[in-house]
Amino acid sequence: AGFDLPSGVFTAGHPGTYQVTWSLVADDKAGGPSVRIFLRKNSIQIPESHHVSSYTGSSGLVYNQGSRTLLLHLDQGDTLDLFCTDCRTTIWHITLCVSLM
């Protein structure tokens, strides 16, 4: 149970309600793709966790910082990870915090 840092996967050691918070910075360029990130529970995307960042300007770029917080029930052995459906845009300063309430 706990975080596997190389893979970014959290495994619940105890059943209960968990608070999950993440934040990141996206480098959105003109004409580039939108960043779409989901929290996944047991490899299944959680629709309510959808985090999107995009820039529709004709030139330049935008640095966009965002975060999300969710409360989830996890059973022992359930896993959580962040999943990017299109990561051609640069993403950095990612922080993921999982706390048993």
pLDDT tens for each residue of 28-59 = 888 888 889 999 999 999 999 998 888 888 88
pLDDT at 68: 94
69 neighbors 99 (Cβ within 8 angstroms):
no
Rounded Cα–Cα distance for residues 96 and 34 (Å):
21
Average pLDDT along the chain: 92
30 neighbors 58 (Cβ within 8 angstroms):
yes
Mean pLDDT of 79-98: 90
The CA-based dihedral angle spanning residues 57, 58, 61, 66, taken in that order and rounded to the nearest 10 degrees = 20
